[in-house]
Structure 1
Amino acid sequence: MSKDSNLAVLIDADNVQPAIVDGLLVEIAKYGTASVKRIYGDWTGPALKGWKEALLQHSIQPVQQFGYTRGKNATDSALIIDAMDLLYTGNFGGFCLVSSDSDFTRLASRIRESGLTVYGFGERKTPAPLVVACDKFIYTEVLTEGNEEEQQSRKRSAKELKSDTRLVNALRNAVEGSSDEDGWAQLGPVGSNIAKQSPEFDARNFGYRKLRDLVEATGLFEVQERSAADGASKVIYVRDKRRP
């Protein structure tokens, strides 16, 4: 297996709830193979006892870290040291940092400086510096969403989407930046373009499963489905309706 598909998953137990684990690992599988799965915390205390079943079920290795001094987070230091050790092995194509703690901002930047991809996972309260330090940041709230009916209730309407200036500008700029002379852009590059500007962008944050669903819901773009060169698959193209 290519090292580019190998991911090191490092979880800060002090900042993550066990309920996200199933959705977390399903999401990570979209980007590669979780070759290393470690979670850091003080397992001698009662605060983390809810993790036991999840760790056994998913073969996540707990790393014990005592809190040496009150008010100081030794867990962060242990995770950072392990991350650097793993980075120097050269066996990984990316890291998944699971925490809402901004203390990992410099770690994320350092890993990217070495040419590896960083996927961040944290709650919506995660400070912006950590979010933008990652190549892609996924809010953990979207990993624990309920059934289809509940998801439908969270969908933003066309009116709400159109009134979101930041969203509209991001979509239009991405389409323009990826388009041909006629204004048509493949949806894949559009998504990549947006992610480079806003690592936290995700259609699920607006209640839609896929980018195509979100784009169509805005009512601001034409959408076409065309046959790919191989004739066996389809490619989605979008164009700003304002384009003459």
Structure 2
Amino acid sequence: MKDFISKKQSLTLTKMLLVTLTLTLMLTITLMLPSPTSAASKEYEIYKKIKTGMTATEVSKLIYGKSYKKHLEKFLGVTTFNSEPTYADVRDGRHVYEFGFFESERKIDDSSIFNISIGLFSKKNGNTLYVGYKNYQPENTSETRLYKGKKPTLGMSIKQLDNIAYGKKLGTYYDHTYENMTFLKFLDNKGKNIHPDKKTRVSYLLKSYDKKTNYHVYLEYNYKKKEYYVTMIF
């Protein structure tokens, strides 16, 4: 009987540990990738699946499925998308492109945006393009009003920023960017990697209580503290 109770207790403790680890992982993911409140969409789900280091072909399969080959072409020796890039540069043995996908209209100002943008880079003298960064812009961006007498300041955490936001709090972000170009080895003239770390950024649109002052606030994720902090305000 004692052995039975011991095994039962052990199983219960194991289940509790698994639940705790799962909740911790979910919280970490939530902090790294704040979900737009309006983003239960196909585009957002695709954005989450795009990983840095993916090739152009792999991204095309993810976005277009079985018809992915129709959206690719060979250009200057590399396989890339056959749509018009938003940026293109070939120099010093590297190919650099940016492409946008899922064009839509941002409702807050009727501007044309791409829900998803990716930066594609070749390695030095390489002929394969890899994702170095990705960006997501929801069309239903919030413009959040702040409490009276409150304003964003540099170094403020996302929690502190949320606490001074009126009504529905920060709401839906303006854009989200994840970058990891460490593997591409962009070196300076001393041989140092100029992109040594991965980076995650998110930005929000805020208004003062009297609606006279607009703020575009950028926050960067601190991987050690597992929290976003304000790094720029415009």
The structure carrying a bigger helix percent of its residues is 1
TM-score band by shorter chain is under 0.3
> TM-score by structure 1 length?
0.23
The structure carrying a bigger strand percent of its residues is 2
> TM-score by structure 2 length?
0.23
Larger CA Rg, structure 1 vs 2: 2
